[in-house]
Amino acid sequence: REAPIPKMLAPCLLRSAVLTVPLVFVVALLVTEPVGADQEAGTAIPAESRPCVDCHAFEFMQRALQDLKKTAYNLDTRTETLLLQVEKRNLCDCVAANLLN
C-alpha cells in the first residue's frame, strides 16, 4: 500500500508553484527601473549636430552614382580591350590565311 503523504504533497506543491511564479514576475517588474519612451540605446546625439535624413539620402545617392560611373568606365575600358583583341585576332588570322595562299 502506498503512503498517502506523497499524493497529498503533489497538489500542494503545484498550488504553491502556481502562486509563486506570478509573484516573482510581479516583484521583478516592480524592482526593475522603468525605461522612458524617449530614451534611446547608446549615447544620445543632440539634434543640432545630426544631419537630416534627406542629407544622408543625398550623400548615399552621390556615392552610389560615383560607384556606378566607375563601374561603367571599367566596363567600357574592358569592352574596348576585348574588341581590340578580337580585331587583332581577326587581322592575324586574315594575314596568316593570305600567306598560305
Q: What is the pLDDT of residues 13-32, one digit of tens each?
A: 667 777 777 778 777 777 77
Q: DSSP secondary structure string, the chain?
A: ---HHHHHHHHHHHHHHHHHHHHHHHHHHHHSPPPPTT--SS----GGGSPPHHHHHHHHHHHHHHHHHHHHHHHHHHHHHHHHHHHHHHHHHHHHHHHH-
Q: Is the model's pTM score more than 0.85?
A: no
Average pLDDT, the chain: 75
For the chain, the structural domain boundaries read 8-31+56-100
